[in-house]
């Protein structure tokens, strides 16, 4: 049911969306929405999308999609079918890089992927990493994030680089590693827990403000809204507070979406 709540909400945003159907020409304009094929592109996106759901999302008003196959597989050939399907559905796509190679700063495989897909009409941006500062087993992105950014831009100067962050300090940490900043701040329910900040919906504006300060208002921000139940994504051994064992309501989804837009986000995505 909650999938349809998100679909219904995003159809309300259809007037903000402009999904191009030809070769992607992406132009950044400071912190404004990028231009895609000459038209402002306010991203309305969904993470973890299979090819079988692309047409449904396009019909609901989405214009941007992502699949974790990119980050989880070193090979490249499989991705053409998914990108072709996205293009045929009138959708743009985020193409990720294989995470173990990015963290190790071994970019040979990434070079092959970029070369293979940089001219694909569905490509909107390269997605280098998800929540780098959360990974305590690496340098938390201090070195590999700017290295990945420079590598991608050298091999494809025509498409922007994006990444998802999760801490309020991340905008300052990774300002030099993205062209478009994303943050996946999840406020539902707004009740403190022992491993959560408990700042509620106001944390959305805090992220946007932190990014605006870090980049000097020169780069756009996309907000990743919570569209999941915490208890369905954590290991069985992890203790989940009872009040967290539910999906966001439609009102909460609206609040996240419109708070992000009112705060200055140039796109909203759902995870």
User: Is pLDDT at 4 greater than 70 in this prediction?
Assistant: no
User: What confidence tens digit (pLDDT) does each residue in 194-238 have?
Assistant: 444 557 898 999 999 999 999 999 999 999 999 988 777 665 556
pLDDT at position 113 over 80: yes
Residue 153 has pLDDT above 50, yes or no: yes
With tokens 């994006």, the residue in question is 162
pLDDT digits (tens, 9 = 90+) for 116-126: 999 999 999 99
Taking residue 126's Cβ as centre, other Cβ atoms within 10 Å add up to 29
Closest CA to 36 of 151, 178, 129, 160: 160
Q: How confident is residue 13, by pLDDT bands cut at 50, 70 and 90? A: low
Q: What is the pTM of this model?
A: 0.88
Residue 211 structure tokens: 């990014």
d(CA 99, CA 201): 30
* Beta pairing class for 39-40 and 35-36: antiparallel
Tokens of 65: 């999609």
Cα–Cα distance between 211 and 168 in angstroms, integer?
9
| Helix%, strand%, coil% for the chain, nearest 5 | 40, 15, 45
């Amino acid at each position: 049911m909650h999938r349809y709540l998100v679909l219904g909400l995003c159809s309300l945003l259809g007037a903000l969306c402009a999904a191009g159907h030809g070769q992607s020409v992406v132009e950044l304009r400071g912190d404004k929405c990028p231009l895609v094929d000459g038209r402002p592109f306010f991203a309305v996106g969904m993470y973890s999308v299979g090819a079988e759901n692309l047409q449904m999302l396009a019909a609901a008003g989405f214009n941007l999609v992502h699949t974790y196959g990119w980050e989880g597989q070193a090979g490249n050939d499989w991705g053409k079918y998914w990108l072709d399907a996205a293009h045929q559905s009138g959708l743009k796509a985020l193409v990720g890089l294989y995470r173990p190679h990015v963290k190790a700063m071994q970019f040979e495989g990434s070079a092959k992927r970029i070369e293979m897909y940089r001219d694909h009409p569905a490509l909107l941006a390269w997605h280098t990493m998800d929540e780098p500062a959360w990974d305590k087993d690496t340098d938390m992105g201090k070195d590999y994030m700017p290295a990945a950014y420079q590598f991608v831009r050298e091999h494809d100067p025509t498409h922007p680089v994006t990444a998802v962050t999760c801490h309020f300090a991340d905008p300052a940490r990774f300002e030099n590693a993205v062209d478009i900043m994303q943050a996946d701040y999840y406020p539902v329910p707004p009740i403190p827990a022992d491993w959560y900040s408990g700042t509620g919906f106001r944390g959305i504006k805090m992220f946007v403000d932190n990014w605006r300060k870090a980049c000097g208002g020169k780069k756009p921000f996309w907000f990743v809204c919570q569209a999941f139940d915490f208890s369905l994504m954590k290991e069985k051994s992890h203790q989940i507070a009872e009040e967290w064992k539910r999906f966001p309501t439609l009102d909460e989804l609206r609040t996240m979406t419109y708070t992000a837009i009112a705060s200055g986000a140039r796109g909203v995505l759902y995870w």
